[in-house]
Amino acid sequence: MSIAPLDRSARTYVAGHRGLVGGAVLAHLQAEGFTDLVTATSAEVDLRDRGAVEAFFDRERPATVVLAAAKVGGILANATYPADFFSDNIRIQTNVLDAAAATGTERLLFLGSSCIYPKFAEQPIREDSLLTGLLEPTNDAYAIAKIAGVLQVQALRRQHGVHYISAMPTNLYGPGDNFNPEGSHVLPGLIRRFEAARLDGDPTVTVWGTGTPRREFLHVSDLARACVHLLENYDDGAPVNIGVGEDLPIAELAQLVADTVGYTGELVFDTTKPDGTPRKLLDVSTIHGLGWRAEIGLREGLAATVAWYREQLAAGTVRAS
């Protein structure tokens, strides 16, 4: 299913370039020799504002778009603000996809999330598991919004013949992640808490849930490589999973984080807190068949992320607790 390589001199827009994913994609495009990269902060273009998005696309007319902009957060944020997660993401996606199609964007990659799949999907989760069962209740609003994005990509392909695709990454981590106590995902949240406990000399660290759910983690630099690879080697309406094909229990992850930051206290699991989906391992045979594989191991990537986090702490750009 190989298609023509991307034109490195054509205008390429990375939506959400200040986030974890968008920042990594932008850096990878720069390293790959893309010379006409376009970005816009939310202050410059509010992607929830249809008129602003239409004006931006009419002015810039990018040939290629990576749609990495989204409202994202961990289990607490999703459970607390489901209406915001639904509304913001629906508007961002609809506005960007419609404007891209209207102004002649040739290729577009929409990035969703592995949480679009049913809570009890057969493991590892194949792409055709989509819409075959009930979602995880703690993030169903966000998941439905992302499912709508996948369907919009498919609808635009059918109606307008555009070469737009969608990809579903597994849990991501790496430099540039969100370490905010109220909005972080599990891995940056663990890094922040264990580093704070090490610095404060706390005897215990509490981890939400039982520790038994299994999760898969992909370094964001590997995801950035996958985005360009898919844009150059895939042209179909079916979403493509992006992951490493391996997972581990949260308890094991927590101990790995503790070891990496040098915390020697006790781990305590608060079983009154929700576990979320029991397992979420992606079947990555499709993207492996296209010639891409993850390269950064979890221990290596985690060590680099902890080092980056400590640099940000020293610079005062992130909070320690």
Q: What residue numbers does the annotated binding site for NADP(+) cover?
A: 16-22, 111-114, 146, 169-172, 185
Binding-site residue ranges? 16-22, 111-114, 146, 169-172, 185, 193, 208, 215, 275
Residue 142: active-site member: yes
Cβ-based neighbours of 194, under 8 Å, separated by 6 or more: 205, 254, 257, 258, 261, 263
**What is the rounded CA–CA span in Å between residue 271 and residue 213?**
12
Asked whether 244 and 197 are in contact (CB, 8 A), the reply is: no
Among candidates 215, 290, 298, which has minimal Cα distance to 251?
215
DSSP readout, 193-257? HHHHHHHHT-SEEEEES-S--EE-EEEHHHHHHHHHHHHHH---SS-EEES-S--EEHHHHHHHH
Return the structure tokens found at 44.
């410059």
Residues 6+ apart with CB under 8 A from 151: none
Whole-angstrom Cα distance, residue 125 to residue 123? 5
Q: Among residues 117, 142, 164, 309, which one is catalytic?
A: 142
For the annotated binding site for substrate, the residues are 193, 208, 215, 275
Which DSSP state fits 133?
A: S
Q: Return the active site residues.
A: 142
